[in-house]
Amino acid sequence: MNNDLPILLFDLDGTLVHTAPDLVATLNTILLRNDREPLPLESVVKLVGDGAQALLDRGFRETGAPAENLDALLGDFIEIYSNAATVHSHPFPNVIEVLEGFLETGHRMAVCTNKPQRPSETILRNLGLIDFFDLIVGGDRLAVRKPDSKHLTGTLELMNAVGQSAIMIGDSRNDVASARDAQMPVIVVSYGYTTIPPAELGGDILIDQFSDLPAAVSRLSA
């Protein structure tokens, strides 16, 4: 660990891991149980980014009308998804190698995701990523979540790193907005889940592949 290096805060879905296939499968299971039509992958990707409850709500609206029992459906979703979150999901190319490099260099790292805590930890554990991170802070661990900057600053507090420099790495406007409000630089990946063109999200640096991240971090740390 090197306290002179910035802490790296990562989004999960669309940044570290391609989670969309298993999100689609779980959402469609819930939709079919409630006499709704399933949604294709390309439609669900546009609905991801604000947590499981928002995904469910958007999925039901997309297939006809709002869900009447969203809280109950959310419990079902988390239960199903937590048991099948890594059937088709996988880290994006070069993620493991790059994280290994950051760990060897001495960077502390954490995950800040709007995905609920339980499936977030399941995914990272099953895919062999969890040991890279000091902390996982899901969307239901704190009282707030992205785009609220307290999701990021609260993570730093839990890491006993208040006042230490940090960089956010993500793929969405929530990632950029939370970092901006926290006065934290942000790196945007172009391959993630966003309905807004990545170049228009307003990140400090845009990268097209995860292997470009070390150079981007070095630029922002100079």
User: What is the DSSP track for 176-190?
Assistant: HHHHHHTT--EEEET
| pLDDT value for 72 | 94
The pLDDT of residue 1: 64
**Average pLDDT of every residue of the chain:** 95
For CATH 3.40.50.1000, list the domain ranges present in the chain: 7-18+90-221
Active site residue 11: yes
If you average pLDDT over residues 161-186, what whole number do you get?
Answer: 97
CATH 1.10.150 residue ranges in the chain? 20-82
Q: List the structure tokens of 212.
A: 């470009």
pLDDT exceeds 90 at position 2 = no
Beta-strand runs (E) in 1-98: 7-10, 17-18, 90-91
* CA atoms 122, 6, 106, 213: torsion sign: positive
- Give per-residue pLDDT as tens, 24-40: 999 999 999 999 999 99
Please spell the DSSP secondary structure of 68-91, one letter per residue: S-HHHHHHHHHHHHHTSTTSS-EE
pLDDT score of 75: 93
Fold of 20-82: DNA polymerase; domain 1 (1.10.150)
Residue 63 CA to residue 32 CA, distance in Å, equals: 11
As a whole number of angstroms, the distance between CA 94 and CA 54 comes to 30
Q: What is the pLDDT of residue 50?
A: 84
Residue 190 binned pLDDT confidence (cut-offs 50, 70, 90): very high
The CATH number of the domain covering residues in 7-18+90-221: 3.40.50.1000
For residue 107, the tally of other CB atoms under 10 A from its CB is 20
pTM of the model: 0.92
Tokens 């993630």 locate to 192
Q: Is the pLDDT of residue 147 over 90?
A: yes
Mean predicted confidence (pLDDT) in 86-109: 98
Say what the pLDDT of residue 107 is: 98
Options 4, 11, 13, 208, the catalytic residue? 11
